[in-house]
Structure formats: C-alpha cells, structure tokens
Structure 1
Amino acid sequence: MVTSPEEMQNEANKKFCVVVGNTVTGICTTSNAPADAKCTATDPGKVTVTSVPSDHLTILGTLSTTNIIMANWSKAMWQSVVNRAIRMLAWGPLGSHFFSAFATVN
C-alpha cells in the first residue's frame, strides 16, 4: 500500500475531542506522536489541546416556506414558533446538550 505525503500528514496530526462529563471541552491534536497516542502522549510538543473552535459552537440556519398560509404569517407569529423551538432545545430531550439557545426573526 502506497501512502501519500498528505495521508502521512493526516495520520501524524489526528484530532480527538476532550470530553468532561457529557461536554466536549476541547480539541486535542497529536503531532508527530505515535499513531495510537490519542492525546495520552506525555512528550512535550507531541500533544496540543485547544478550545473548541467558535464555528463549532454555533448552529446557524434559515427557515423558508412555500406554504401560502405560513408565508403570510406576521413576525409575531413566527417569533412564537421560534420561542417554542428554543424552549424545546432548553427543556426537551436534547436540553442537556445545549449550553444556551437564542433565535431571532428578521
């Protein structure tokens, strides 16, 4: 099996999640560590732990509809739906997986 330089680089710089309880608290990258290091390497410079990148802390989205009745809803009606979704994120079955949630209607 031929290994390209890119594959060797990817193998040398594996990323793992640092989990405390049920929360991902950081990202661990192994650099030039053995393939099975998995963030347990004790050699200085082989393991780097960084915070979770901000682009992975936010979920953004757009909702659009072609339903003629819903398309004509007022901003207040849409805000009511959005508020209900926020409550479900906070208190529903996935509530423990969200630190906070907010949404706006433009």
Structure 2
Amino acid sequence: MKDMPSCIIVGNTVTGICTTMMRDNKMCMKEEKDMVVITPLDGTYFTIRGNLSSTNIVMANWSRMMWQSVVDRAVRMLASGPVGSHFIAARATLCGN
C-alpha cells in the first residue's frame, strides 16, 4: 500500500491528497496540533458517480449527440485540468433514452 495516495483529513473534511513522492519528502507532515491524519485511500474513493438533470427548456431538447459532446468535453477538461494528474482515467456515459 506504500504507492497508494493518501487523504489529508482535517476534522471530518478531506482537504488534500498526499502522493508517495510527497510523503517520502515529508511534504505531507503537519504539526500535531493541526489534527491532521494521513489515511490511505482504498479503491472506493477512486470512483466518482453522479446524475445530472435539467429543467431548462433549451437543454431539455438537446439531442443525444449534443449531450455526448458536452460529456466528452467535461471528461477532457477533467483530465487536463489542475487535478488531472490525480486521475488514472476519466470516463462518462450517457444513460436513458
């Protein structure tokens, strides 16, 4: 489990991720008074799922192809954005009619 990233938890809130390189360089260490606990992540935290619904009349009439374009763009932006290096892969699928 040494190569697994870890959460930095302050109180009950995940405030950051600590990678192996950061841990080895002691960059994740905080003073004990900050009550920071470095906890290894398990596989359940690597999956993010959600639903999107809209009552906007214009968006409600978008074609499946238009929605697929939006979803594909969101995946590209996630992968190339500031947190992109924290993802092994990103995938989004359209469900429904």
Question: Which category of TM-score, normalised to the shorter sequence, fits these structures?
Answer: 0.5 to 0.7
1:90 CA displacement? 1.1
- Tell me: higher relative CO, structure 1 or 2? Use CA pairs within 8 A at least 6 residues apart: 2
The one-letter code sitting in structure 2 at the alignment partner of 1:67 is N
Higher helix proportion (structure 1 or 2): 2
- The secondary structure found in structure 2 opposite 1:99 is coil
Q: Which amino acid aligns with 1:96?
A: S
Is residue 60 from structure 1 mapped to residue 18 from structure 2 by the alignment?
no
Letter in 1 for 2:57: I
TM-aligned CA distance change 1:87 to 1:71, over 3 Å: same
Structure 2 residue aligned with 1:21: 21
Aligned length: 66
Q: How does 1:87-98 map to 2 (within 5 A)?
A: 87-98=76-87
Q: Considering only CA atoms, is the larger Rg found in Structure 1 or Structure 2?
A: 1
Q: Secondary structure at the match of 1:81?
A: helix
1:84 counterpart letter in structure 2: R
Identity of aligned residues (%): 52
Question: For residues 86 and 22 of structure 1, what CA distance do their matches in structure 2 show?
Answer: 26
Structure 2 unmatched runs, 5+: 1-16, 24-36
Asked whether 1:81 is paired with 2:70, we answer: yes
Which amino acid is the alignment partner of residue 62 of structure 2?
A: W
CA RMSD of aligned residues (A): 2.7
Aligned-pair CA distance for 1:22: 5.6
Q: Report the CA distance between 1:19 and its aligned residue.
A: 3.6
